[in-house]
Amino acid sequence: MARNPVICAVAAALSLGLAGGLAVPGAAQDAVDIFGFKAPGGKALEKLVADAQAHPLGSKENPVRADMPKGQRAYLARLRCADGKRPAFERAGSMGIGVFGRIIDGYDVRCEGSTPETTMIYMDMYHPGHREAAAVEGFTITPA
């Protein structure tokens, strides 16, 4: 049986702990993303954040920053509609490259029987350790 070279390479990387950024030393993780590409940090990231804040939080121009899909879901779970209830949400898909140079995700967020009825919230999951404290316009957010 012939071996698939791509599968062999992935298996080798996993066995060596090289996939998913595992080979990146902890101190350097802020400097590269999960794909091994240099990520903005320090003053460059501060400038990008400051420029983005000229736009509404959750827009394409100012996506909610989060720590991977788990962080995205945690943020959305903390949002509250005008009636105080949790909104329903579903990932709409990847929405292209965002202002921080990474792929952003769009989430369809719905407040059935309340406002905002339907909102698209854009999120950037490539911000290790970041936990957004502000709510997207039209929502409130719980602290925990």
CA distances from 19 to 25, 72, 94, 100, 128 (A): 13, 22, 22, 23, 17
Cis peptide before 63 (omega within 30 of 0): no
Would residue 19 count as lying in a domain?
no
Would residue 10 count as lying in a domain?
no
Residue 109 predicted with pLDDT over 70:
yes
Would residue 101 count as lying in a domain?
yes
Q: What is the chain's mean pLDDT, rounded? A: 82
Task: Report how far Cα 139 is from the mean position of its chain's Cα atoms.
Answer: 18
Host domain of residue 30: 25-141
Measure the N-to-C terminal CA separation of the chain; round to a whole number of Å.
Answer: 53
Would residue 36 count as lying in a domain?
yes
Which DSSP helix (H) or strand (E) runs through 110?
strand 103-110
The pLDDT tens digits for 56-94 are: 999 999 999 999 999 999 999 999 999 999 999 999 999
Would residue 115 count as lying in a domain?
yes
**pLDDT (0 to 100) of residue 40:** 78
Q: List, in sequence order, the alpha helices (H) in 59-133.
A: 68-78
Return the closest-CA partner of residue 35 out of 22, 23, 21. 21
CB atoms < 10 A from the CB of 86, how many? 13
Tally of structural domains, the chain:
1
Would residue 51 count as lying in a domain?
yes
DSSP 96: E
The pLDDT tens digits for 113-123 are: 999 999 999 99
CB atoms < 10 A from the CB of 141, how many? 14
Q: Band of the pLDDT at 138, cuts 50, 70, 90?
A: very high
Would residue 124 count as lying in a domain?
yes
Would residue 111 count as lying in a domain?
yes
